[in-house]
Amino acid sequence: MKQTDLLVKMVIDRWNGSIVNLNKHVQALSDEQLQKEVAPGKNRGSYILGHLIAVHDDMLRLLDMGEKLFPELYEIYIKQADKVATQTPSGIELRAMLDKQNSFFQEKFESLTSEEWLEKHTAVSEEDFLKEPQRNKLNILITRTSHLQYHLGQLVLLS
């Protein structure tokens, strides 16, 4: 295997592993548990889950993979803090979105070559990318995996 292919695979494997763990923990929580704060006065599980789906949805734009699947989540789970929105998706709806999103990403991710992963993401200019080649699509996946793990560590406190 070519070194670049190996390295890209390692990064994608870590993303996939994190998603597997997220699914496992979300499935283990009841909708009632999901509505609880992860610690007194902190975000609720449902907000954290919605936030993750919204942030991952935004990756579609950054990775040039098409339109967001759930644009309505941005206001509720990225722009606003927890407990601000009065109308939010139910636990059942969030779980369905997570499943749909994971299947969608899996298909999209498999279709990209290693060289394509190393192309610039859409939020950086051609000019800046020449100077900073690390601002590529794979780096978006690396930072989003970190972000996912950070919030996963919080979600597990609900079990």
Residue 10 within binding range of its own copies, rule CB under 8 A:
yes
Among 14, 25, 61, 68, binds its own copies (CB under 8 A): 14
Residue 120 within binding range of its own copies, rule CB under 8 A:
no
Residues 6+ apart with CB under 8 A from 125: none
* Alpha-carbon distances, residue 39 vs 36, 75, 128, 151 (angstroms): 8, 23, 41, 13
Window contacting its own copies (CB under 8 A); options: 79-87, 91-99, 103-111, 141-149: 141-149
**Contact 140/121 with Cβ under 8 angstroms?**
yes
Residue whose CB is less far from its own copies, 66 or 153: 153
Among 38, 62, 69, 85, binds its own copies (CB under 8 A): 38
- The least distance separating its own copies from the CB of residue 125, rounded to whole angstroms, comes to 18
**Contact 55/144 with Cβ under 8 angstroms?**
yes
Query: 32-61 burial string, b = 16+ CB within 10 Å, else e?
Result: eebeebbeeeebbbbbbbbbbbbbbbbbbe
- The least distance separating its own copies from the CB of residue 81, rounded to whole angstroms, comes to 15
Residue whose CB is less far from its own copies, 7 or 65: 7
Nearest in space to 22 (alpha carbons), one of 99, 120, 88, 118: 99
Binding residues (CB under 8 A) for its own copies: these are 1, 3-4, 6-11, 13-14, 17-18, 38-40, 42, 118, 133-134, 138-139, 142-143, 145-147, 149-154, 157
